[in-house]
Amino acid sequence: MNRPPPRLERRASVERATRRPDRASTRAPRDPTAVEAPVAGVRLLRVDAESAGQRLDNFLLRHLKGVPRSHLYRLMRRGEVRVNQGRIKPDRRLDEGDLVRIPPLRTAPEPTAVASASSAALTRLAAAVIYEDDRLLVIDKPAGIAVHGGSGLSHGLIELLRQLRPGVGLELVHRLDRETSGCLLISKRRGMLRELHGLIRAGAVEKRYLALVVGDPGRAHVTVDAPLKKNVLQGGERLVRVDPVAGRAARTIFRRLRCFVTDGLVLTLVEARLITGRTHQIRVHAAHLGTPLAGDPKYGDAAANRLLKAHGWSRLFLHACALSFPMGEGGTSFRVESPLPTDLAQMLSELESTT
């Protein structure tokens, strides 16, 4: 007579409810955020106080080590990852007590490419630290390095930093495009991450950039209020457009600093102050004004970029030059600055000599 299988003991750890025959059972470390899932292979994670305020995508990346970033975003777009039984966007911030449903996934060890990163790359990044205390790290990010791995990249800045600071809970506070250089905030503690995210949401973090645009904005100060909508193309490329109907509110304030003329091409150095922080915001707003960023391959002026390239200037001219915000209970002002990198400073020097 067949006997019913023994009932599995209820557990609070994240694990599959079924086991493969003839294999030793391996259990993941107990996770205090996990609850039992009603479907085999499904994971349910309860958002705790430490994770409150974190974006859904970053929450998943922290809990699902070894799952490719592109695969996680695909799952979120399909609605296979749900929060409180509903679909939400990757950038939605989680609240304490939220229940995150994760479909069955096969995880793999984290990429070994980080371990084999060149010593030169690590040395360069170590030299880029412009401020550090026990809660915060500020990097003068070099152009050409992505802030995180994925989309064909074996590693990015955050993975390299975690190798330089093993055992420290480093997390990106915000992001910069791959070709953008300058100030980038990295938290070393979850409490600091939540504090800074709160300041960003309240508009208390001031971000200033230096940019070179093609053309002349026409006024000393220009404020652009143009909602932006982000689209993800089939290959995973992000493309942002001004969309007054479906876009999210976005505001940038441009201040004209100096004009140059080379081979009949007018170029203007501007300071851009972000009031909101949408993807590609400065680049899209500058193009919306009719003055796209010099060297921008996605939103720029192709003819102007060809002329600049003939002079040896092919890089996107966008640099995060300053960050400031109130820090701590006393609200002491914290400010950090980064001078123009050598290649951009040399470009301005050559433009000055021809103007």
Q: Is 107 helix (H, G, I), strand (E, B) or coil?
A: coil
Convert 27-62 into a string of H (helix), E (strand) and C (coil).
CCCCCCCEECCCCCCCEEEECCCCCCCCEHHHHHHH
Contact 147, 135 (CB under 8 A): no
Sort strands 238-242 and 206-214 into parallel, antiparallel or unpaired. Answer: unpaired
Contact 180, 141 (CB under 8 A): yes
Catalytic: which of 98, 140, 177, 296?
Answer: 177
Residue 110 DSSP label: P
Q: Give the pair of three-digit tokens for residue 159.
A: 């993975």
Q: Is 99 within 8 Å of 45 (Cβ atoms)?
A: yes
**Helix runs in 174-263, H state only:** 190-201
177 classed as catalytic: yes
Tell the residue number behind the tokens 């701590």, with chain if given: 328
The pairs formed by 6-12 with CB atoms below 8 angstroms and a separation of 24 or more are 10/36, 11/36, 12/36
Which residues make Cβ contacts (< 8 Å) with residue 325, sequence separation at least 6?
A: 196, 199, 204, 205, 206, 333, 334
Alpha helices in 131-226 (DSSP H): 157-164, 190-201
DSSP H helical ranges for the chain: 56-63, 69-78, 119-126, 157-164, 190-201, 281-288, 302-310, 342-354
Looking at the DSSP assignment, which residues form a beta bridge with residue 151?
A: none
> Active-site residue numbers?
177
